[in-house]
Amino acid sequence: MSAGSLAVDCAVSNEAKGGLKLITEIGISLPEEAVIEYPDGTQRRCRIRWQRLNEVGVSFLD
């Protein structure tokens, strides 16, 4: 996941049609919007919906 100049390694915990639940390596504060980059290079814009410690819920914007 990237947000501006910040890049964060994360793993997908749950996936739904409209978004993802991610697990980050560390509990960091993220901005309102970010870009998810998949291992194949595909990117999707997303909005951070909630964050608890190292868990993050996002919804896709595209």
Cβ–Cβ under 8 Å, residues 14 and 6: no
pLDDT at 30: 85
Cβ–Cβ under 8 Å, residues 50 and 40: no
Structural domain span for residue 46: 2-60
pLDDT digits (tens, 9 = 90+) for 6-55: 788 889 999 988 999 999 877 688 889 999 998 999 999 999 999 998 89
Angle at 41 (CA atoms; ends 58, 22), nearest 5 degrees: 25
What is the number of helices (H) and of strands (E) in the chain?
A: 0, 7
Q: Is 28 helix (H, G, I), strand (E, B) or coil?
A: coil
pLDDT at 60: 97
Q: What's the number of domains the chain is made of?
A: 1
Give pTM, 2 decimals: 0.82
